[in-house]
Amino acid sequence: MAKTDTRDIKATVNQINELADCGCEIARVAVPDSEAAQAISNIKKKTSIPIVADIHFDYRLALESLRAGADGLRLNPGNIREPEQVTEVVKAARQRQVPIRIGINAGSLPPASKPSISTSKHMVNIALEQIKLLESLDFDLIKVSLKAFDVPTTVEAYRAIAAKISYPLHLGITEAGLPRAGAVRSAVGIGILLDEGIGDTIRVSLSAHPCEEVNTAYEILKTLGLRQHGPTLISCPSCGRAEVDIIGLAESVDSSLRDISQPIKVAVMGCVVNGPGEAKEADVGIACGRGKGAIFRKGKVVSTVAEKDFLKALMAEVKNLLN
């Protein structure tokens, strides 16, 4: 999701293009007012990925966003409560064949009829009500999300709705926090669901630059073998056998790999004896010893280099392999 003020067209265009460069495939923008809705038209002229308008409270902003060319709408039915207003939006979306995501958030649910109902069930019930409303208007370009901060609640809700509907599901753990904890929460929640075959699109929500969200999302997909995207760094945790600063070297290699878009596995290992064997999965790697290191390819040592040349030699081998 873009984190710029949507009314600032230049900043929003720059951020969406930056997001596209780091692999984002759909961008959402906040639409807090009419000026933001109208800005979508100009934003679309200078960006290449689909733009989803995020609407809260005012259905008229959804209508304006559609007129401005939004490729999708995200509506939170918890805060557009008048069925006539939802109806008007659905009619306009149907005319333009624009999909609507019913975006349920645990934090903004309408009151439950039974106070004893669990949050996940309540989320599912609200989503099903909204789906029914959209279907009754002969609209089926529907996508659903059921996000909560709490991972077990989110997982329960998605499992339950996946058993009831066949519409695409957009996965996410909402307000997951700063990158360290947020990446873990997102990986656990989204990862469990994807591994069960649930989910069609994902968004990682972090209190960080949005490219960090995209990078984390790709790490989840790569970890599950669902997508290949850019390099994967395999690095040993280091231990008493390491004779060089493995953590520092792994960080430098990680930075150097950022400009590479091809999928390649690169290993940084702390000892010559165990390194190549332990990192057999890597395409290329380095196993470091005292003052020198062995560059290896697919587990086989291909050269030996001095410590001062570790980074340079490893990156040269990466480039050789990619060219």
Alpha-carbon distance 100 to 80, whole Å? 14
Which contacts qualify for 296-301: CB closer than 8 Å, 24 or more apart? 296/267, 297/321, 300/276, 301/276
Task: Tell me if residue 116 falls in helix, strand or coil.
Answer: coil
Interface residue with ligand SF4 among 237, 259, 300, 323 (CB under 6 A) is: 237
Please identify which residue in 146, 269, 294, 318 interacts with ligand SF4, judged by CB under 6 A: 269
> In sequence order, which residues have a C-beta less than 8 Å from that of residue 150 and are 6 or more positions away?
106, 119
Give the range of 136-144, 191-199, 230-238, 294-302 binding ligand SF4 by CB under 6 A.
230-238
Binding piece for ligand SF4, criterion CB under 6 A, among 42-50, 201-209, 270-278, 302-310: 270-278
Asked if 238 is part of the footprint of ligand SF4 (rule: CB under 6 A), the reply reads yes
CA distance 319 to 316: 5
| Residue 271 Cβ vs ligand SF4, minimum distance, rounded to whole Å | 3
- 250 contacts ligand SF4 (rule: CB under 6 A): no
Per-position x/- string for 278-317, each x denoting binding to ligand SF4 as judged by CB under 6 A, each - no binding: x---------------------------------------
275 binds ligand SF4 (CB under 6 A): yes
Query: How many positions of this chain bind ligand SF4 (CB under 6 A)?
Result: 12
Torsion sign (Cα): 5, 11, 16, 19 = negative
Q: Please, what's the b/e burial string for 86-125 (b: 16 or more CB within 10 A of its CB; e: otherwise)?
A: bbbbbebbbeeebbbbbbbbbeebeeeeeeeeebbbbbbb
Token pair recorded at residue 79: 């805060």
The least CB distance from residue 185 to ligand SF4, in Å, is 27
153 binds ligand SF4 (CB under 6 A): no
Cβ nearer to ligand SF4, comparing 39 with 246: 246
